[in-house]
Amino acid sequence: MAPRRGKAAAALAKLALDGCKIALSGTFPGATHASIKAKAEALGATMASAVTDGVTHLVASETDYNKPSPKVSKAQSIGNIHIVSLEWLSLSEQNNAKEPEDDHLLGTPAKDAQSQTDDATKTSSSQANGTTTALTTGRTRKRAPPAAADGVSDSEAAPKAKKTRARKPAAVKTEEDEDVEMKDANGVADVETKEEKKEKVRVERAVGEGQVAKSKDMQVPLDEGCPFPTSKVYIDDAGVIYDASLNQTNASNNNNKFYRIQLLKDPSGIYRTWTRWGRVGEFGQTQVPATGSLDDAMKQFEKKFKDKSGLPWSQRGDKAKPGKYAFVEKSYDAESDEEDEAEDTAVKKEKGPPREPPKSTLLPAVQELVQLIFNKSNFDNTMAALKYDANKLPLGKLSKATITRGFQALKDLAAVIDDNSLAQDVYGKAFHAAVEDLSNSYYSVIPHAFGRNRPPVIANVDAVKREIELLESLSGMKDAALLMKMEKINDNPIHPLDSQYQALKMREMTPLDPASGEYSQLQNYLLESRGDTHGHQYTVESIFRIEREGEFGRFDDSVFGKMGQNRRLLWHGSRCTNFGGILSQGLRIAPPEAPVSGYMFGKGIYLADMASKSANYCCSYMSDNTALLLLCEAELGSPMQELVNASYTAGEDAKQKGMVSTWGKGRTGPSKWKDASCVHPSLAGVMMPDTSVKPGDTNVQGANLYYNEYICYDVSQVRLRYLLRVKM
């Protein structure tokens, strides 16, 4: 049974900007693209990442209009697109009615820059969450009937598509509070109607911003094996890169296939469409189905894309169609892997004797730490262990939008796993058929290396959690990989380790003297907070006192810095490969697209008072038995939300109660606490376990956890204090 729209979806027809399709160009003081998109979509508008014939409005900055930017030029060439200031959107929101465009057209004397700045500030009413797409209410669409799965042949014909009205092409994401049905703290499930259940399943469409070139001079790498080395990948006037990577996984048929399409321009003015397809991990077959004019090659490119994906090229960011290939957005930034190879080749061609490598100015312990954090072998081992196919989509080519789509696919899966009735109510299928389709969609977006083995169906919460771990690791490793490229991009005349350390933007990283009291106190905290069920054996190699740039100020200036009620020094563990991202950007909270069921007490920063609990997350076997552990100062507030059982809604529940953290109460914990000023004077007022007294039974009735967990729901609650390098 095809899903119907719920009442909430029907209500959208009455919104002020219903029928408007809006693109953005430029930067706006006091507002991010994410916040602007959220405002527009809340008024019923749909968003577009590129300017096409279906776009009705382009909201642009004065700077982009005056250049003009590629999007402005495209809108002007189309002719019937309103190019307006941000004031038009702000006043439409303020009056809950669409403002007349003529009063806000850019390039007219009545429009001054100051009013645009003021309205931009009004538009941004909340802190952006760091993503470039908006959080909105989506609509459930009818599912197309599954198409026959492609083989390795490129000859099958695609059915003729029915003419339809233009659909939303972009930027619809899932709101953080739009999670699947959850049980309350007493284990009682909320009762929902079938229509309400449908409203909880949201359709995510990644924007595809990475498919737009930042400049016309960008060099997009040719596909592997392309026999036209002098050709270039075509980029149109709006900056759209005509390079499509498609992937399809089907567990039942044991399919794990790719399809690559590029529109190429030869120096002589000849245009070609290049295609390559086959099983992931193999070279496959190739074809050049079109050679001649730009119009001919583009028609063939767009036809091939629609045949394989079921989507028009202009809507490539839409949700993948069942039984079709999924578009996998790539990153084309200068730090990508192919750029690395080009730079390496250029270096080899340089004349003259090689330069003597500069000496590092870092202390030996810091050098060794940086080497560990940016160890490429550890990256490769981690990706292989998590079954990620780095050959298909290397870290340097992995875009944030692709990771976001992966999270959303897992969220859809988790919703059905948590409430089996959604399989029939929303997808019109039996449970096993629905989760297989959703698993296929996820694998098509996030390529996995299964060899000739059948891709496993993701059919339970544990399998979802494993894939969440993969996506979180990919996000952290991508951040680290970017930092590793900085030395080459900037052509720094300093030692590579110094360059990578500078990219971390640490205000302090001081190795402690093993003979100091500070070192001794922290070592004891590690060694004496070991759970009986863990059996870890530690050797401390180094301890660093650390401070991230701006983090202490963020903490002090926040509401948490003024509480001073319940601060504790607690552990956090993660893979070594994640620390490039952790140190450069801080501990982060899972994005709204991630399934909440993958987190025991909701999405937050998880901390522990037993080091061995955090050490379990370090996966030291992937990094030569070396682990990195953080000690964090966290303001937990008073009182904390205290729970003895898992609750996926713990974060929202805590906020509703006016609490800022959750204490997952365990059976074993510290017997006594003490002031951490004994470690360092700056920690006065922060509590830590007194390890002179062994951890013991907490006597908490009904506790299902072995050990305590503390979950903070705002990144400003936590600041990093120490980093321990430990042999396990």
Task: Tell me which residues are annotated as active site.
Answer: 709
Q: Which two tokens stand for residue 117?
A: 């700045």
CA nearest to 578, candidates 437, 700, 483: 483
Contact indicator for 670, 609 with CB cutoff of 8 Å: yes
First-residue to last-residue Cα distance in the chain: 54
Angle (deg, nearest 10), helices 461-489 and 400-418: 170
Q: Which two tokens stand for residue 141?
A: 């669409």
Q: Which two tokens stand for residue 633?
A: 């100062």
Scan for tokens 């004077």, then name that residue: 681
CA nearest to 262, candidates 293, 295, 230, 290: 290
**Contacts of residue 509, Cβ cutoff 8 Å, sequence gap at least 6:** 366, 369, 501, 544, 545, 546, 723
Residue 17: exposure state from Cβ atoms within 10 A (0-12, 13-18, ≥19): buried
Q: What is the 3-state secondary structure (H, E, C) of 344-413?
A: HHHHHHCCCCCCCCCCCCCCHHHHHHHHHHCCHHHHHHHHHHCCECCCCCCHHHECHHHHHHHHHHHHHH
Q: How many CB atoms lie within 10 A of CB 156?
A: 12
The dihedral built from the CA positions of residue 703, 705, 706 and 710, taken in this order, carries a sign that is: negative
> CA torsion, points 699, 701, 702, 705, in degrees to nearest 10?
-30
Contact indicator for 423, 436 with CB cutoff of 8 Å: no
Q: What element of type H or E holds 705? A: strand 705-707
